[in-house]
Amino acid sequence: MNPLDEIKTTTVYGTKGRDAGKAFRITELDVVAKADFVVRLVSALRVESYEDLLAKVQSAPAGAPQIDVIMHILQGSQPQAVHTLITDALQSVQIAPDPKHPEAFRPLLRTDIRELSTLGELLAAFAMLNIYA
């Protein structure tokens, strides 16, 4: 297999509250799924274009919590469409819930994420891997 064709992943480690010690692995979407996701995202967020969305992300204050940046961007969006996008994004996430076995990843369940800040970090990492890269 050509190394340039490898599917990329990124790992987010839970640091707060009930998510501390959990490892979350996010897998890159295929190009068609990425395109579909971006089209639905731009529509749901009611932004003029993909470039406008990037500008909103880049204008966030340095060091702002990821969930705050995401919530600011979601203002005025279509809630049901955003819910569907979040659910779809989380389909690419696996979890290793036991810090003693960090290699033991399994599919993520909705109940695995217990802190809103963790959700923000996962969505930001998903976006960096699939949208902004």
- Confidence at 113, pLDDT banded by 50, 70, 90: very high
Q: In the predicted model, what is the mean pLDDT of the chain? A: 90
φ and ψ at 117, to 5 degrees? Answer: -65, -35
What pLDDT, in 10s, does the model give residues 28-78? Answer: 999 999 999 999 998 998 888 888 888 887 888 888 887 787 888 888 899
SS3 79: helix
Distance of CA 95 to the CA centre of its chain: 14
- Where do the domains of the chain lie? 3-130
Q: Which of 33-37, 45-49, 99-103, 115-119 has the lowest mean pLDDT?
A: 45-49
Please report the sign of the dihedral spanned by the C-alpha atoms of residue 32, residue 58, residue 56, residue 63: positive
pTM for this predicted structure: 0.85
SS3 25: strand
SS3 100: coil
